Chain A
Amino acid sequence: MSADHHDDRLREILHRYPRHPRFLLAFLQDVQREFKHVPRKAMEASSERFMVPMSRVYSVATFYRALSLVPRGRKTIKVCMGTACHLRGAPRVLEAIEEALQVRCGGTTRDGEFSVEAVNCLGACALAPVVMVEDRCYGSMTAAKVREMLEEERGR
């Protein structure tokens, strides 16, 4: 993506929202979705548009788990660590994913394809253990099913 194109996209997202501080979080979420992280430029632009000090933009950008200051992978794998998933073996599924991708939980694969995260309950407890890749849900996961899931996701 060229720098100019980058700026255009940023401007486009910025103008989706009226000039009111309450849209700061929504804007940063859109930026995260588009660029897979919140670049400094986006924080500066939002500080000006939403009329909030840079310090507050920074505190919002670092408070919420959905936002990240460093680039995440193109797809985020969320492994549910809710109580039901914990009881039905989610820790072993996470281990299998870490091993298959050679990346620790919280990290991003070398090719930038996947980030792996542990999350607290995706609300699909009847399907425990659950893994979500972007907004696709994989239920009744086992360590053995991990490879198949990753292959399907690579093909997308």
Chain B
Amino acid sequence: MRLSSPEDLELYREQLLRRVKPQRWVRVCAGTGCLAGGSQRVYEALVEEARRIGLDSPVKFQARCSGCHGFCEEGPLVVCGMRGSEVLYRKVRREDALEILLALADDRVVERLLYRDGREVYREERHIPFYALQMRKVLERCGKVDPRDVDHYISLGGYASLARALSMSPEEVIDLVTRAGLRGRGGGGFPAGQKWASCRSASGPQKFVLANGDEGDPGAFMDRSLMEGDPHSILEGMIIGAHAVGASKGFIYVRDEYPLAVENLTHAIREARRLGLLGRRILGSDLSFDVDICRGGGAFVCGESSALMASIEGRPGEPRVKYIRSTERGLWECPTVLNNVETWANVPIIIREGVEGYRSLGTKDSPGTKVFSLVGKVRRSGLVEVPMGTTLREIIFEIGGGVMGRNRFKAVQTGGPSGGCLPESKLDLPVDFDRLTREGSMMGSGGMIVMDHRSCMVDVARYFVKFLEGESCGKCAPCREGLKAMGEILEDLCSRRGRPGDVEMLLSMGNALTDTALCGLGQTAANPVLSTLRHFMEEYREHQDQGFCRAGVCRGMFVARVEADLCVSCGACAKVCPFDAIHRDPSGKFAVDQRCEGCGACLDVCPMGALLPSPRGVRE
């Protein structure tokens, strides 16, 4: 079956929509998070039990897998549908399969599997506060569409934007994308339309479009969910891009750590080829274009554009100095457009909604929505899509439900290793490309890591510098040697070996690195240090001058102290203390003696938060 014109595609879609719909259905999340919780077994159990109880005709019942819903913390997730209504079940186990099906058959709901928050019970996904405040555009189909079934994607309106784009001239498509103001979602925020136009006008024997799926930032997984959960939306965007710039070949560069993304994308490409959506004369137009997958080799630096291209060419992934833009001479010296997978997935939305529609969300300079991965010490972690310009406070407190447990918010880290930490005073900052950069952080690819007062900012800076030190490709000295030297100072600060002048040294080295490194990753590598220095200087001073870690993270740099008013005499702290330093005092409360070595074990277990880190030598 090959679709040889846009009309063919529409006819095919109508055919698919005319198929009898099942009266009842279940959709099991098969994203990485839910699979880890055993969702594959849940799916199998549902299929088997359905057969056993006679729910086996396609008219009566259908079971499908979907991609990631983004609410991974509550997985495995199962959505049941009946008579136009949907019910979301969370933390489903295979043993629940029969009960779910019996309830489904009688139009009942299994109350115990519903999502609860305090006293509220929620039946439908869209009412849960985590989703209610989101605006899902890029992730609209993620969690709904079966990523292994192109027909499902088409029946939900897929590839309609491609058909429309093919009826436009390449210049018209570029003009539309430019006026819509699409900016690169991978971190740089470079205007996509401008990139495309420059590639369009460049000359070369062949042109390429590339999708960057080398999501290396720790704490970010939106690209992964998109590649796993809605692969065709990325392909559709790339085919439109190929039409616009005149490319004949595309590559999707996927991280080595994402086997499921590789699998689902490979399957999607095969299906698209079968339908003639990839290959020669796509939908009867003059466009011939095909896509291959390139698996990364486990190197963070390959997320950088010139390193990524080197890697596709089969060389070590080392960046080069960009005197000439890759839109003129990129992959194999040919004009190349490289966009992040999320950027590509925005393209069909722009074609569908037009400039006005797309710009109705977001801010003037950063239109549209952005997907963030909200993780760390936050109550509801997962993928969050909001219009640009939403404040950090809304994202963390209203959607994410604030900080876990009884802890207090301290900072949010955005932009991965190239970004920085922002303190509570910056929570009302609207999130867009330029605002975050102005505050010394960065939007980056969209990682958002929440930290509470038990997170040590010097330790966080050390963590990122160590990360980058290990990932530095070693080509330029500022990055290779500078990160190593900064890492040593930070290591000293975190183990009571701080010296006067350390903090100043970090600051000057950080600035030098920013000014002199060769590639984008090196130039931003000092951001985690510089931003924590800017907003949390007092913590650095305490580490350097007093050998004190107020968060109780750096070993031996604090002693535990019991706040007697808060102690409920449960004794949990005494049980975990490896130094036998905690005992009941005459009043029945617990107290810490001089044997405390500052390991922090008791701080983690106290249910009341009654144990506090205090400087060594200061005791009750």
Interface set of A (CB-CB < 8 Å, partner B): 20-26, 29, 50, 52, 56, 59-60, 63-67, 78, 81-84, 86-88, 119-128, 130, 132, 135-139
Contacts and interface: CB of A to CB of B under 8 A. Distances in A.
Nearest to A130: B36
Contact of B314 (A60, A87, A136, A137): A60
B397 interface: no
B297 A67 contact: yes
A82 B218 contact: yes
A128 B382 CA distance: 11
Contacts of A127: 33, 36-37, 72-73
A21 B300 CA distance: 22
Interface of B: 32-33, 35-37, 71-73, 215-221, 224, 255-260, 294-300, 311-318, 373, 375-377, 381-382, 413, 416, 447, 449, 451, 455, 460, 463-464, 467, 470-471
Contact of B297 (A21, A59, A65, A88): A65
B447 to A, nearest CB: 7
Nearest to B452: A87
B315 A29 contact: no
Contacts of B299: 63-65
A69 to B, nearest CB: 14
A122 B257 contact: yes
A120 B300 contact: yes
A87 B449 contact: yes
B504 to A, nearest CB: 27
B216 A125 contact: no
A133 to B, nearest CB: 11
B218 A23 contact: no
Contacts of A123: 32, 215, 220-221, 224, 255, 257-258
B283 to A, nearest CB: 28
Given A64-B299, A65-B299, A84 B218 contact: yes
Given A84-B218, A125-B219, A52 B314 contact: yes
B35 A137 contact: yes
Contacts of A136: 36
Given A65-B299, A120-B471, A22 B37 contact: no
A120 B255 CA distance: 12
Contact of A87 (B35, B447, B455, B470): B455
Given A64-B299, A87-B449, A135-B259, A125 B221 contact: yes
Contact of A126 (B33, B300, B377, B467): B33
A137 B36 contact: yes
18 contacts: A25-B295, A25-B311, A29-B295, A63-B317, A83-B449, A88-B376, A119-B257, A120-B216, A121-B216, A121-B219, A121-B257, A123-B221, A123-B224, A123-B255, A124-B36, A127-B36, A127-B72, A137-B35
B297 A66 contact: yes
A126 B315 contact: no
Contacts of B35: 137
A40 B372 CA distance: 44
Given A64-B297, A126-B72, A127-B37, 14 more contacts: A59-B316, A60-B315, A64-B316, A67-B297, A82-B219, A83-B218, A87-B451, A88-B377, A120-B216, A123-B220, A126-B382, A136-B36, A137-B35, A137-B36
Contacts of A124: 32-33, 36, 72, 221
Nearest to A85: B218
A23 B32 contact: no
A67 B264 CA distance: 24
B219 A22 contact: no
A54 to B, nearest CB: 14
Contacts of B413: 83
A52 B313 CA distance: 12
Contacts of A52: 314
A135 B467 CA distance: 23
Contacts of B73: 126-127
B471 to A, nearest CB: 7
A121 B217 contact: yes
B313 A120 contact: no
4 tightest Cβ-Cβ pairs between the two chains A and B: A64-B297, A126-B72, A82-B218, A123-B221
Nearest to B297: A64
Contacts of A65: 297-299
